[in-house]
Amino acid sequence: MISINIAIVKRKKPLPKWLIPLLSLISGILTSLLILYVVSHGSINPLDVLIAIGNSITQPNLLLKNYAMLLVIGCGLLISFKAAIWNIGGEGQFYFAVIGAAWFALYSGLAEIPIINKFLMIALGLTTALIWILIAALIRGYIGLDEVPVTLLMNYIAYNIVDYLVNNHWREQVYRYTRTPTIPVETWFTNIPFTNATLELLLITLVTILLTWIILNYTYIGLFIRTMGSNPNVLKTIGVDVSKTIIYVLIISGLLIGLAGVSYLAGDTHLISSPVIAHTPYYGYTGILVAWLSLLELKYLFVTTYIVSALINAGINIQIVGVGGASIVNLMIGSILLTYTILFVFHEYSVKIIIKK
């Protein structure tokens, strides 16, 4: 009788770190193309999808908005994931920032004050995002409930709260469409010619990257974050309040994601449409992919975000020609994440198949 065993053997020298995301991107895209071809009985041509991805990669001006948005959200998630705190509720935090910013722009009466109006709008967006993330942070920090189901379930609650506002108090009154009125032009971010991004978004992105770099490398909380990700017991041993650290980590993460939320309203949509679940660009979820693929290293985040932005744009292009759209993007995100998770094992280990007679 033949028995087949799989042995995991530690490598003497780990594979280069950059190789894993590269391999997972290639294998993830190929896997999803294969799945698409099979389940669509050949109606989705893998070549069309590859051409769409190729076209997207070579048009950086059209990627800039998604690239900047995902960089900001990626930084927020990177901070939380580095501490092994799995903030999957980016969508909720994103939309709570949108709520704060929208209220300021539409109903505060301060939207037309030049210069400071945008700062105030950002501040209010961050405040509402803070309130939202604080709920999850306190539950995780003081009750110890796993943050994954809590933050995920909170996304659905956030969607409904936004829908409530849009369908009722904030509904535009002219045609009674299920959306808010357009926010005043004074609060719009300034478009950069020949791109789909805004000047303020780019500034926010630069500030976010700088903040993330400083927090992680030059602050106590950054040290705690890195330590907590590798060994939380060390923090307890040296007398650090782990609960408080978890709360701080989630707050920083949620606030950075909130910055993206405000930018989305002021620089992209200028209104909120209901139902949110049908209109969301899913940045909160895509950010997970970006952060994961970066190996939780800021320097790799720039590359992975670019590739993921291209994938999103490819998905949009495919949707326009009517092949599949959001489902294809989900499939690709999942396939790349899956292959990445599996391939990451080979960074430190090799797998040997042993056949014994």
Partner 1 sequence: MIDILSIILNTCPLFIAYQIASIGHSVVEKSGVLNLAIDGLFVLAISVSFMQAVYSGNDILSSILLSIVVTLLIGLFIVFISTKLPVSQGAIGLSIMFICYGLAGILGVPARSHQGSTGLKIGFNIQQNIVYSTIALVLTILLTILIHVIIEKTKLGIAIRACGENPLHAEALGVNVLRIRLIAGAIGYGLIGLSAGLFELLYSRLWREGHGMGHGWIVLAISLSSGRNPLLCLATTFLFSTLYEYRFSLLVFGIPREFIETLPYIVAILSMIIYKTTPLGEKLKPPQYLGKPYFKEERTI
Q: Does 150 bind partner 1 (CB under 8 A)?
A: yes
* Interface pick for partner 1 out of 58, 61, 167, 231 (rule CB under 8 A): 167
- Contacts (Cβ under 8 Å, ≥6 apart) of 351: 6, 7, 8, 9, 345
* Interface pick for partner 1 out of 143, 185, 238, 355 (rule CB under 8 A): 143
Kindly state the tokens that stand for 306: 């670019």
The nearer residue to partner 1, 121 or 323, going by C-beta atoms, is 323
* Interface pick for partner 1 out of 2, 4, 10, 16 (rule CB under 8 A): 10
Q: Does 138 bind partner 1 (CB under 8 A)?
A: no
Least distance from partner 1 to the Cβ atom of residue 319, Å: 11
**Please, where are the H alpha helices in the chain?**
19-39, 46-57, 60-82, 90-107, 116-138, 147-167, 199-218, 220-230, 232-237, 242-264, 276-279, 283-293, 298-320, 326-343, 345-348
Binding residues among 321-340 for partner 1 as defined by CB under 8 A: 324, 326-335, 337-338, 340
What is the spatial distance between Cα 181 and Cα 184, in angstroms, rounded to a whole number? 9
Buried residues in 119-128 as b, exposed as e (16+ CB within 10 A): ebbbebbbbb
* Interface pick for partner 1 out of 58, 108, 234, 352 (rule CB under 8 A): 352
Q: Which stretch binds partner 1 (CB under 8 A): 62-70, 146-154, 220-228, 258-266?
A: 146-154
The nearer residue to partner 1, 39 or 113, going by C-beta atoms, is 39
What is the spatial distance between Cα 70 and Cα 285, in angstroms, rounded to a whole number? 10
Query: Collapsing DSSP states into helix, strand and coil, what is residue 356?
Result: strand
Interface residues toward partner 1, by CB under 8 A: 6-10, 32, 35-36, 39-40, 44, 86, 88, 139, 143-145, 148-150, 152-154, 156-157, 160-161, 163-164, 167-168, 277-278, 285, 288, 292, 324, 326-335, 337-338, 340-342, 344-345, 349, 351-352
